[in-house]
Amino acid sequence: MNSKLDFKRMTRRQWLATGLAGAAALSGAGLLSTFLYHGRKAPVAILRADDYSRPLERLLCEGLQELGFNAAAVKGKRILLKPNLVEVDRSAPQVNTHPALVRATVEAFRSLGAASVIVGEGSGHSLDSLYVFERSGLREALAGSGARFIDLNYQDPVIVANEWRYSSLRTLAFPEIIKQVDWVVSMPKMKTHHWAGVTLSMKNLFGMMPGSYYGWPKNVLHHAGLSECIADIALTLRPQLAIVDGIIGMEGDGPIMGDPVKAGVIVMGTELPAVDATCARLMAVNPDRVPHLAMAKKAGFTIDAWGIDQVGESIRSARREFRLIPSIPAQRDLRR
């Protein structure tokens, strides 16, 4: 990941000037977020999945193929999966990225020839991500998969420049594992959020930031501007893929106290703002009303439907209106 981080230290003007060839050389599959600058659209797949008991590995492999992640692209890659692990209540499937989906993702990448798959989380609500890993059911689900789990909260920081500077932070501290992997995959739960409006693949990257550096629950990031830090982190790290667990999502007062909603989808894509904008539309939310998505749009990333090459289920057929709470300021105007 070193070359990718060096690439992102450039200014936006320098980055735009590098061209498609340079971006393709820096990404394993040539799928970095440069689509609209070169007349191409950001690919997003909506996959129908009504429950967690169906053969998810096969479905994920189909989605990866749609996005260009075939065996030739995946072979030999070292991959970090970043699920959303918040609390330990197994009876509340709307809270965490479901263990069955994480296991299926491990198996899908392995079947395509990945050299290694690691699962990592830096929980913001618990000082011990390993405890959440154990009690959430993910440890059990990953048994025998060969995928190890790491607590990102206690990794040594890798300091990089924050070139986007939507927040007040001059630098960003990522966990050292990013120097040891080729791809990062954000695997969030599809939820509404008390402070950010929605929490999807961009917000999920807060769990990449070491709590030993940023405090709990990542207080430094909240004080520097929640939406601004969401944009800065996601646009700086720029993971290669997002896989959103919308089979059972959360509506209302998320990301913890909301209610389950059966959305019945998995959403996948290579450009996180485009993925999250698609998820927002599936939730009957206007992406332009979500502050961190609006910031990504201002930075040149696509959230407009016309800039997204959407395959699989249509938004119209898969749309499920998530309940919002008007008394929560961040949710009040999301449908306008």
What is the predicted pLDDT for the residue at 21? 34
Q: How far apart are CA 286 and CA 335, in angstroms?
A: 5
What is the predicted pLDDT for the residue at 89? 67
Q: How far apart are CA 245 and CA 249, in angstroms?
A: 7
φ/ψ (deg, to 5) at 230? -55, -50
- Dihedral sign, Cα of residue 173, residue 166, residue 309, residue 277: positive
What is the predicted pLDDT for the residue at 124? 80
CA angle, residues 100, 83, 174, in degrees to nearest 5: 155
Q: How far apart are CA 264 and CA 246, in angstroms?
A: 6
Instruction: Report the SS3 class of residue 46.
Output: strand
What is the predicted pLDDT for the residue at 86? 85
pTM here is 0.89
What is the predicted pLDDT for the residue at 1? 53
In order along its 336 residues, the chain shows pLDDT tens digits of 543 444 333 333 333 333 333 333 333 333 344 444 445 799 999 999 999 998 999 999 999 999 999 999 999 999 999 999 987 766 688 999 999 999 999 999 999 999 999 999 998 876 788 888 988 899 999 999 999 999 999 999 999 999 899 999 999 999 999 999 999 999 999 999 999 999 999 999 999 999 999 998 899 999 999 999 999 999 999 999 999 999 999 999 999 999 999 999 999 999 999 999 999 999 999 999 999 999 999 999 999 999 999 999 999 999 999 999 999 999 999 998
Least Cα distance to 46 among 277, 323, 303 occurs for 277
What is the predicted pLDDT for the residue at 297? 97
What is the predicted pLDDT for the residue at 128? 81
Buried b vs exposed e over 229-253: b needs ≥16 C-beta within 10 Å? bbbbbbbbbbbbbbbbbbbbbbbbb
What is the predicted pLDDT for the residue at 160? 97
**Residue 306, C-beta contacts closer than 8 angstroms, at least 6 positions apart:** none
**Residue 276, C-beta contacts closer than 8 angstroms, at least 6 positions apart:** 198, 200, 201, 202, 242, 287, 290, 293, 303
Cα–Cα separations (whole angstroms), residue 198 to 254, 287, 301, 331: 8, 10, 18, 8
Instruction: State which H helix or E strand residue 119 sits in.
Output: strand 116-121
CA 277 to mean position of chain CA atoms: 12
What 3 state SS string does 256-268 have? CCCEEECCCEEEE
DSSP strand pairing (189-193 vs 116-121):
unpaired
Q: Answer for the pair 290, 303: CB distance below 8 angstroms, yes or no.
A: no
Q: How far apart are CA 296 and CA 92, in angstroms?
A: 31
CA 125 to mean position of chain CA atoms: 18
